[in-house]
Amino acid sequence: MAVMDSPRARPWRLLVTEPTDGATNMAIDEALSLGRRTDTSPPTLRFFAWDPPTVSLGFGQPLGDHVDLNACRRLGVGIVRRPTGGSAIYHDGPERELTYSVVASADDLGGIAGLLETYRWIGRALLAGLRSMGAPAEMIAIAGGEDPTPAFCFARTGSYEIEVAGRKLVGSAQRRRGTTFLQHGSVMLGVDELRLRALFPTTADPLATMTTLEAALGHRPKFDDVATALAAAFETEHGITLRPDGLTADETALAERLVREKYATDTWLVGPT
């Protein structure tokens, strides 16, 4: 039996949203995060996908030549900057990728507050869910950070991220404000190899360090099945209750404003220079 972390009794929200563009996806997560800081939004586990497929840059990652913007335009791939850190990720539609986000406070996790501790808390549930599907997944402990951060997220496995046979399956990034945090993660169901190579021209072999559930299981699982397995694992691993629900009117309005004023703007996309 899993050791329970005794999070607060308040139920968590399970939010599964329709595939949408990068600016809207990131605005929704920031709206949830701001709502959690003011206690107007519950702790939330969200599963989502992207339409059109999109490259997301880490919060502090330069918009340089590591992502081929001409290839993005040619292939109809969007590009957005995340509020979370880390490196660039190519997010496909729901047939090849599931993205999760967790928005919570230290109290929601039973007092767990540190960056690595929250990574581990989330990683335990991800690992349990993936193993329940038959994936021989492993969670990496403390990873070394001496080398420069790669431009492509799946080029290196970070602390408490998930691998199969030494190759990265789940890439995650976090942003903290006080005791509240937002964590994003990408679970690879399959991969479009040619598109991935075109989008990341400076990454010698993007497939050398990554894997997919399709490769691990011998078949590509459906988005909904993976979401169901992961949600169940969060409940059983941590003793929380997930209640399916949608965005509130206030969250929707805030997300729409954040799209207009932040995530869809060139100023935000260009980022640090």
Tokens standing for residue 187: 């679970």
Please check whether residue 202 lies inside any domain of the structure. Answer: yes
104 closest CA partner among 96, 94, 112: 112
pLDDT 10s digits, 94-128: 999 999 999 999 999 988 878 889 989 999 999 99
Q: Domain with 116 in it: what CATH number?
A: 3.30.930.10
CA dihedral 266, 203, 102, 59 (to 10 degrees): -30
Residue 144: pLDDT band with limits 50, 70, 90: low
Instruction: For 51-89, give one letter per residue: b (16+ CB within 10 A) or e.
Output: bbbbbbbbeebebeebbbeebbeeeebbbbbbbbbbbbb
pLDDT at 3 over 50: no
- Residues serving a catalytic function are 153
Residue 7: pLDDT band with limits 50, 70, 90: very low
Domain count, the chain: 1
Please check whether residue 131 lies inside any domain of the structure. Answer: yes
**Residues pairing with 242 in the sheet:** 12
Please check whether residue 3 lies inside any domain of the structure. Answer: no
The Cα 23–Cα 230 span in angstroms is 25
Which residues constitute the domain of residue 154? Answer: 12-262
Mean pLDDT, to the nearest integer, of 241-245?
Answer: 97
The sign of the dihedral angle between the CA atoms of 249, 51, 126, 129 is positive
Please check whether residue 171 lies inside any domain of the structure. Answer: yes
What does the mean pLDDT of the chain come to? 89
**Is beta strand 54-57 parallel, antiparallel or unpaired with respect to 97-105?**
unpaired
Instruction: Report pLDDT for 140.
Output: 84
3-state SS class at 222: coil
Mean pLDDT, to the nearest integer, of 47-51?
Answer: 97
Query: Could you write out the three-class secondary structure of 161-214?
Result: CEEECCEEEEEEEEEEECCEEEEEEEEECCCCHHHHHHHCCCCCCCCCCECCHH
Please check whether residue 1 lies inside any domain of the structure. Answer: no
Task: Give helix 223-238 / helix 115-132 axis angle, nearest 10°.
Answer: 120
Q: Give the predicted TM-score (pTM) of the model.
A: 0.91
The Cα 107–Cα 4 span in angstroms is 14
Please check whether residue 273 lies inside any domain of the structure. Answer: no
Instruction: Report pLDDT for 61.
Output: 84
Please check whether residue 167 lies inside any domain of the structure. Answer: yes
pLDDT 10s digits, 199-219: 988 887 888 888 999 999 999
Mean pLDDT, to the nearest integer, of 121-142?
Answer: 93
Please check whether residue 268 lies inside any domain of the structure. Answer: no
pLDDT at 8 over 90: no
3-state SS class at 56: strand
